[in-house]
Amino acid sequence: MEKGRAFLVGAGPGDVQLITVKGMEAIKKAQVILYDRLANPKLLDYAPADCELIYCGKLPDRHVLRQEMINDLLVEKVLEGKIVVRLKGGDPGVFGRVGEEAAALAENGLSFDIVPGITSGISAPLYAGIPVTHREFGESFAVVTAHDKSENGQPKLDWKGLATGIDTIAFYMGISNLPYISKNLIKHGKPADTPVILIQWGTFSRQQTLEGTLSNIAAKAKEVNFTNPAITLVGDIVSLRKKLNWFEKKPLFGKQILLARTGTDESELAKELMEQGADVIEFPKWKKVTVPVDRAVISRISAYEEILFTSPESVREFLRILIAERIDIRRVKANFYGCSTKSVKSLNEKGFMAKLEGEMPLSGKLLVVGDSDITSEYPHAEKFITSKKMIDEQFTPIFKRVIEEASVNTIILPSSRAVKTIVEEGIIKEIIPQQLLKTARVVSMGVRTANASEKYGIIPDKVLEAPDKTSVINCLASKEPELSFV
């Protein structure tokens, strides 16, 4: 058997767009991914459908897999001839134990690449409006671990050198040791009024900050129960935040959105929401498998007067099948319709003048094209199944963990099919807490979607007249008063 290869990849600090090109390329060809808690799980969406996903995350109070077990598993999978990605938050070489994992691979004669990532000690401050160096505030910068392997976890550092020789210091995961850090820096010469900022979940929309000084930051953090994952940045450079704070001014900053999905394509809506500052959890993760072509339908393709496409994917799959079956598109005489604006757009991009489903006449010979999730809204129509769609169960524990850690405050329902999915696959199966329907703001994209929601007992807080991404963003960015819940 051929030996495989490992890629030890830095996933960046959280914002999925901050991964390197080389890191993304490794994910896209991976056969196995061993990923950490701080690697944004949305990156796993880019992995092949048959990729094995293994969670290696660590929490302050427990380890899912200890480091020695991770090393052994990494070696084992590479020896099986697999392309293995070890996906680590931030940069693997900055407190990421990449040296230990690379050593395990090297000792077994296995090939590996180390792919750097953007470390949180630099990126989290930047997303809080603070560059870590500046000619007027400091020309030296240090990254320091805020805990070590000792019994009490308090690192033995060159406190004198840090306090008097370094302008700006980034402590990683230092919240529990804040009193110890502050005391030692002041004791060894750092002024007690030196500015300090704590940045939790940096580069995410749930980013939280807390400002103070060495003399009071520990008490402030205790008062509000500030927790890791967080960066503690110490230095006069923190004062730049007042002028340069850019990320938290994005229109959707603070929005943690649960977006119901019915398609396998990358969501343009999700991309735009994230661009505007939101965190987006897309549920569920779908995968598709091919099905035998229904040649009986293909043989009478010229007889249909209307063809309704249920998704953009169904448009591409239908055209791909016609080409594979050597059917000239000019044999299709039907008018084309789409169940959504995305479906219509996909048809338009292929050169077809299509309309929305609502404009379709109810008479005439109709063919509905879609995956195995086609509903029976048109009992007299013929159906053409292009593929079988199923939920990727590998992502179920990932969703549970992400929703548990996030504070979802907005739910977006794009279609009636999405409503059915989020209820039957999410809430009934207890992947999504039912309480979210009461505590989060529910936005329905269109009246039909709202009607479907109400059948399941979900009353939308907002129904959009135009079911498109611009309307969604304008709605969420509007300065409406926050909903209050009993």
Residues 6+ apart with CB under 8 A from 293: 321, 324, 325
How many other C-beta atoms lie within 10 A of the C-beta of residue 52? 15
- Report how far apart, in Å, the C-alpha atoms of 469 and of each of 306, 413, 447, 474 are: 27, 12, 16, 9
Kindly tell me the burial class for residue 297, based on how many C-beta atoms sit within 10 Å of its own C-beta (0-12, 13-18, 19 or more). Answer: middle
Q: Please give the Cα distance from 191 to 108 (Å, whole number).
A: 50
Exactly one of 36, 91, 371, 373 is catalytic; which is it?
36
Catalytic residue at 469?
A: no
How many other C-beta atoms lie within 10 A of the C-beta of residue 63? 12
Length of the chain: 486
Q: Please give the Cα distance from 309 to 302 (Å, whole number).
A: 16
Strand ranges for 334-373 from DSSP E: 335-338, 355-356, 366-370
Catalytic residue at 173?
A: yes
Catalytic residue at 58?
A: yes
Sheet of 335-338, strands arranged across: 355-356, 335-338, 306-309, 366-370, 382-385
> Collapsing DSSP states into helix, strand and coil, what is residue 280?
strand
Exactly one of 15, 82, 173, 360 is catalytic; which is it?
173
214: left (phi over 0), alpha (psi -120 to 50) or beta: alpha
Q: CA torsion 349→353→357→360, rounded to 10°?
A: -170
Exactly one of 22, 24, 58, 294 is catalytic; which is it?
58
Task: Give how far the C-alpha of residue 49 lies from the chain's centroid of Cα atoms, to the nearest Å.
Answer: 17
Q: What is the DSSP string of 409-450?
A: -EEEE-SHHHHHHIIIIIITTTSS-TTHHHHSEEEESSHHHH
Write out the catalytic residue numbers. Answer: 36, 58, 173
